[in-house]
Structures are given as structure tokens and as C-alpha cells.
Amino acid sequence: MQTRLFFGFLLFLSGFSIQAQALRGLTPVDIASLKSIASATWSADGGTIAYTVRVQSDPTVENKPSRAELHLLNVASGASTSFVTRGNVRLVSFRPGHNVITFLNRLENDKVTGLYQIGLSGGEASLLYKFETSISGYQWSPDGKTLGFIATKPEVKEKAALPYSPVLYEQNLSVQRIYMVEPGQGEARELTVDGHFSALEWSPDGKKLICASAPTSLVDDSYMSVTLSIVDVATMKVLSTIDHQGKKGDAQWSPDGTQIAFIAASDLNDPTAGSLFVAPVTGGKPTILQKDWEGMFEQIIWQDPGQVHFIGSTGAESVYGIIKTDAKSKPVFQSIEKGFAISHFELAANGRGLFLADSYNHPTELFIEGAGQTAIKRMTDSNPVLKEIEFAKQEVVRYKAKDGLEIEGILIRPLHEESGKKYPLITIVHGGPEAHFNNGWLTGYSNPGQTGAAEGYAVFYPNYRGSNGRGVKFSLTSQGDPAGKEFDDVVDGVDYLIASGLVDATKVGVTGGSYGGYATGWLSTRYSDRFAAGVMFVGISNNVSKWGTTDIPKEEYLVHARKWVYEDYDFFLKRSPVYYADQCKTPLLIMHGEDDPRVHPGQSMELYRHIKSRTTTPVELVFYPGEGHGNANSTARYDYNLRLMSWFDKYLKGIGKS
């Protein structure tokens, strides 16, 4: 471990000054410095794209989060210009009717996040509007005169009588409100409706808003109790609400302002906001489009009358298409290259599209449709260093679970694979479980991916039952059965790869975060005879104590367990890794953020203590101060990556054993 850590830091310090004589494999050092495109938006005339580039902090210098810089792309020439490099730029917008770009930022001397602007000709960005508290979201009215924004409601704090104040758990919660203001023209007006607001969208005529709100700022309410309301801008009062229960996603006005299209869960028990609905602006019950589609809607744009443009997923592949809003027509898909994972799209006024997408050999980059063509052209190259990298083969695999259900996954084969040779395997289990792996860029600080393949591992990403992307029915198949058939699917996938001749059955590892951490703990105890090493991240070890310490108990009940923990303590305990800790033979590295609100760090402490006390199996526990449900800061991420790979090297390859 220490050897790898020291060597990794030496590599990072050396940078890339020495040019490789031949292509090489991807390393943790590369991962710690890669950039990606974070956002992009069209100018009104379609001639310019403003986009942000996410830049990671150097982990050997400062333990800080990544930040985003603003760049401008001239679409005709393809030339890019760096515009704003200070702070962390986000929510970039071309202000309608004005020759400026606006964005949220918070510079060194700013007490709160404010709205900045910069002219299209460049120069220095200036503060356009600042509220008493940080602005978390905003959108300009269609004429560019009025700013609708979301910010925490300012509180009047009385001077404390004592020099110490306790924290009242889940009491005196702050709430985000919607405000309207014409910058430089008076005070902001507050929306007079109760609730904690998370999104707003102007109607085409600028007279109404779609607003998304929850009853409180509790995370559980933001997941399970969001309401979509239509608000009159003049009176700041609610005109109507959409009658739908369940998780909510993207919402869009029809071009004529008479209807709303939105993405949401099919009902209150659906774990994924992945179905598409249309409702009249007068409110009431919405109509679901393509209820039985075996896919998932992820983002929508309603630019053309009678039809909605969308991106989504069908299994492990991204899709881009159009669907009519008559509730009868099926989606019409546009041609997209396989292994091209789209995370965002936007249409110019002329209908030309921009896309943010990644692939097996690069993180997220900016693409646009060629003029008059459906072909997609890459416009950015954020990581020239990747030209030095040789990438391993990545493919979608399908196999049958023991009960006959077809399961899909993604396999990255070992770099320079030799025919007939068996390889160690790293199995990566996604969280959620309402999530899935897309066939794109799958390498990060907690996912070995191409770095594992470069070191001679096969790397497997199973989309086990309960994953989304394959329709509502498939996403419900794991409900009420935590750690049951869902994790059996993972074992069945490992068996499939062993039977194929690729994997050495004695050298199988498993890792994952959150629900994937739960899987790692379960497979390292209940299925300990099958796994030779595990790395568990922010994972669940005791479903009984986890329920009492998480910030999403309602969501857990409604879309996962389907019964309360106190209704069957025995069931939930027996579906917990701690219950089987005495049979753990799998060397387990456990890592956790000290400030995790979702899965309390005590979950990792419990499993560590059980394994440590009841077995002689190697187990280690690492806490990351200041980190939550996943590491956000550079050194913490880099350190995690090095420890993860060192653990697998030691227990799957025998490297570093004493």
C-alpha cells in the first residue's frame, strides 16, 4: 500500500513532461487530472456556444473540489476562447435581448454566490445581482428583463444568550424560495406560496412559471413529495397544480404555452423518474406517454408543436429521439453510434443540436450536429494526454440469471489480453439501486475501469435487476427483496465470465459505493467463498440501524423495501452484512466520508467491528474528514483510488503481500 501511494505521488509530481515513446495504459495519475465538459448552451442566433470545462485540483497541492471555467465556441470556425477562469462557474445563460452571458459564481471575497455577467466581446466579468443569501438557480424571462431566481429565505437571527448553541435535528429548517427582480430596478419579490423550491421554468409568453416545490427542505421530501405548480408572475400566486405523485424530473412548456411535458416516476412506488407525461396548463391528471416502453427518459425539450425531443437510455445504450404527444405514437430514434453516452442536449432556434457525451476512450466532451446533417461532430478535446493512452476493449454483455431473467452488463477486457489466459476480475456494483451503467466512459476515482484493464484486470459492471434504463417493470423487480435476487444477479454475471474462460474463479474482487457498497459488504460476507477481495465505500452494513440514521427513510420504504423496518426486524437484520460477518473470509477494505448524511459512517464502523472481532480476516477502515456520500475533494479522491487498486493488487494478484 505505502509503496503504491508513494510511487503514485511521485508520478503525479513528474507530470507529463516526458513524452511516451509508445501508447501506454491509463493510470490513477491520469484520472486525477482529467478534465470534462460540465455544461453547454446555445446563443440565440446559434452562432456561439458557451460551455464550461470542469478542472480538477492538483491532489498533491490542495484537497479541494473541482471547479468549472467558462469558454466560448465559435460554431462556424470551431475556435474556442477561454472567458472566465476564476471561481466555479455554473448555470451559464445568454441573457435574452442583451449582448452578455450570465452565470453563477462566488469569488474569493464574496460572502454569497451571486449572478455575474460578461460581454460577448470578453473583458472582465462583473457582479450583476447579489441577494442576501446564495442564489442556487435562476432563469431569465423570455424578454431578458426579469430574473427569476431561487435562494434560501433570509433568516433574522437573534443574538444567542449563551456562547454555545446546540443543533436541533430536523428542526428550524431553512427553505429555498422563488424571487423575481429586475436587476437595478428595486427589491426582489418573493413567491407567496409555501414550500421549498428547487426549479422554475418561464412560459413562452413570460406570464407564467412552472415551479417545483417540496413541503420542506428534507431530502426525503425532495425525492418523494415534489409538486409541480403553475404560477402567475404578475400576482405570484398558484393558478393550478399537476395531479401526480412520485419522483419528478425535467419539465418543459409546449411552444404555445397550453401544456406541460415532464419526466417523473410512473407512480409513488416507482424508484425512477424516467417516464414521460403531458398535462394541460390548467392542471389535473397528466397523461403518460409510452407507459410500457422498455427504456428511460432522461431529458426533454419541447421545441416543436406536438412533439418532444428527448435523450434517454435503453439498457446500457443512450438514445436520442422524438416522440409525439398524442399518447399513441412510439418514439422515433435518431441514429447514434453505439458506445456514445449522452448526458445533456440542447436545441438551437434553428433546430440544430448540441450534445454532451462521453465514450469508452474519453470523458464528457461537446458535440454538435453538422449543418443540415444528422451526423454529430466533436468540438472539444479537453484531454490531449489521452492520445498517449491505449484503451482496452469495452463491450456490452448479456447473460441469464438463475431464474431466467436476462441481465445486461458492461465488460472492459484486460489490455493486451492473451487468448486462453484467465484474468483477475474487479466487479463494480452501482448504487441506487435505481441507476445503471451506460456504455460510455466508466473510469473514475472509485471505478477502476480502464486503469484496472491497463493493470491486467477484467472489469465488470453488471446492471442487475432493479437497475433503471429498461422500463418501469424491470426497475420494480428488486423491490421488497434487498440483497436477494438483485445481488444474486451479480454472482451469476461473475459465473458467466468464469464460464467464458476469461476470469480466474479464485481471483474475483468486488467494489461499489452506497447501495453498491451494500452489495460489496453482502458479497464479502454472505458470498464470501466467491470473492477474494472487497472494497466497500459508503455502504450499508445493518439495515436496522441504517434506517434510523439515514436522511431518506420515506424513500427507502416507498420505492425499495416496501415495508417499514419495525414491521419485520428479523427480515432486515438477515438481509444485512453484519449478520453474516462471522463467515467473512474476504479481505475487506472499508472507506467512508465522516460527514455522510445518507449512509451514516457508523454503518462502516459496525461491519469493521464485527469482522475484526469475529474473524481473523484482514479488514481495514478508512475515514475521509469533510467528505459526505462520496469524496468531492481532490486528494481524498486520489487517495481513495490508490488504496482501492493497492487492495486488489495485494489480494487478487499477490502484489505487496508480506
Distances (CA, A) of 83 to 4, 51, 119, 396: 39, 10, 10, 39
Cell numbers representing residue 608 in the block: 469493521
d(CA 41, CA 26): 31
Angle at 237 between CA 235 and CA 240, to 5 degrees: 130
At 335 the pLDDT is 67
Burial class (CB in 10 A: 0-12, 13-18, 19+), 50: buried
d(CA 129, CA 127): 6
Query: β-strands 114-119, 135-140: how paired?
Result: unpaired
Instruction: Please indicate, yes or no, if residue 98 is contained in any of the structural domains.
Output: no
Cell numbers representing residue 347 in the block: 436545441
Residue 612, Ramachandran bin (φ over 0: left; ψ between -120 and 50: alpha; else beta): alpha
Is-contact 391 26, C-beta < 8 A?
Answer: yes
pLDDT by residue (tens digit) across 512-529? 999 999 999 999 999 999
* C-beta pairs of 87-94 under 8 Å, 24+ apart in sequence: 89/52, 90/38, 90/39, 90/52, 91/39, 91/137, 91/138, 92/39, 92/41, 92/50, 92/51, 92/52, 93/41, 93/138, 93/139, 93/140, 94/41, 94/42, 94/43, 94/44, 94/48, 94/50
Q: Is the pLDDT of residue 561 over 60?
A: yes
Query: β-strands 353-359, 340-347: how paired?
Result: antiparallel
At 657 the pLDDT is 54
Phi, psi of 606 (to 5 degrees): -60, -50
Instruction: Please indicate, yes or no, if residue 278 is contained in any of the structural domains.
Output: no
d(CA 95, CA 43): 9
| 306 three-class SS | coil
Looking at per-residue pLDDT, the higher value among 334 and 57 belongs to 57
Q: Is the pLDDT of residue 20 over 60?
A: no
Q: In what order do the strands lie in the sheet with 48-55?
A: 36-42, 48-55, 67-74, 80-84
pLDDT by residue (tens digit) across 48-75? 999 999 999 999 999 999 999 999 999 9
pLDDT by residue (tens digit) across 250-279? 999 999 999 999 999 999 999 999 999 999
Cell numbers representing residue 255 in the block: 411552444
Is-contact 471 294, C-beta < 8 A?
Answer: yes
For residues 516, 400, 416 and 360, what is the CA-based torsion angle, rounded to 10 degrees? -60
Q: Which residues contact 87 (CB under 8 A, 6 or more apart)?
A: 67, 105, 106, 107
Q: Is the pLDDT of residue 172 over 70?
A: yes
Instruction: Please indicate, yes or no, if residue 498 is contained in any of the structural domains.
Output: yes
d(CA 105, CA 125): 10
Is-contact 621 647, C-beta < 8 A?
Answer: no
Instruction: Please indicate, yes or no, if residue 501 is contained in any of the structural domains.
Output: yes
In 243-316, where do the E strands start and end?
A: 248-253, 259-264, 275-280, 287-289, 296-304, 307-314
pLDDT by residue (tens digit) across 413-434? 999 999 999 999 999 999 999 9
3-state SS, 443-502, equals CCCCCCHHHHHHCCCEEEEEECCCCCCCCHHHHCCCCCCCCCHHHHHHHHHHHHHHHCCC
| 315 three-class SS | coil
Q: Name which of 475, 435, 433, 432 is nearest 266 in CA terms.
A: 475
Q: Is the pLDDT of residue 375 over 80?
A: no
Is-contact 218 170, C-beta < 8 A?
Answer: yes
d(CA 115, CA 101): 10
CATH of residue 426's domain is: 3.40.50.1820
Burial class (CB in 10 A: 0-12, 13-18, 19+), 631: buried
d(CA 249, CA 411): 30
Instruction: Please indicate, yes or no, if residue 227 is contained in any of the structural domains.
Output: no
Q: In what order do the strands lie in the sheet with 533-537?
A: 394-400, 406-412, 458-463, 423-429, 503-513, 533-537, 588-593, 619-624
d(CA 514, CA 446): 12
Instruction: Please indicate, yes or no, if residue 334 is contained in any of the structural domains.
Output: no
Instruction: Please indicate, yes or no, if residue 118 is contained in any of the structural domains.
Output: no
Q: Which residues contact 7 (CB under 8 A, 6 or more apart)?
A: none
| 515 three-class SS | helix
Where residue 21 falls among pLDDT bands split at 50, 70, 90? low
User: If you average pLDDT over every residue of the chain, what do you get?
Assistant: 93
d(CA 622, CA 594): 10
Is-contact 169 189, C-beta < 8 A?
Answer: no
d(CA 276, CA 305): 16
Distances (CA, A) of 299 to 273, 276, 319, 451: 10, 10, 11, 31
Where residue 585 falls among pLDDT bands split at 50, 70, 90? very high
Q: In what order do the strands lie in the sheet with 376-378?
A: 340-347, 353-359, 362-369, 376-378
Where residue 14 falls among pLDDT bands split at 50, 70, 90? very low
At 8 the pLDDT is 42
Q: Is the pLDDT of residue 17 over 50?
A: no
Task: State the angle between helix axes of 515-525 and 485-499 in degrees (0 to 180), rounded to the nearest 10.
Answer: 70
The total domain count for the chain is 1
Is-contact 296 312, C-beta < 8 A?
Answer: yes
At 373 the pLDDT is 61
Query: β-strands 332-333, 340-347: how paired?
Result: unpaired
At 340 the pLDDT is 86
**Which sign, positive or negative, has the C-alpha torsion 145, 250, 216, 594?**
negative
Is-contact 191 198, C-beta < 8 A?
Answer: no
Other CB atoms within 10 Å distance of the CB of residue 343: 20
**Which sign, positive or negative, has the C-alpha torsion 334, 337, 341, 343?**
negative
For the entire predicted model, the pTM comes to 0.92
Range of the domain at 568: 393-653
At 374 the pLDDT is 62
- For the chain, what is the radius of gyration of the CA atoms? 25
Is-contact 263 298, C-beta < 8 A?
Answer: yes
Q: Which residue has the cell 455554473?
A: 90
Cell numbers representing residue 223 in the block: 425525492
Looking at per-residue pLDDT, the higher value among 66 and 10 belongs to 66
Instruction: Please indicate, yes or no, if residue 466 is contained in any of the structural domains.
Output: yes
Percent of the chain past pLDDT 90, that is, above it, reads: 86
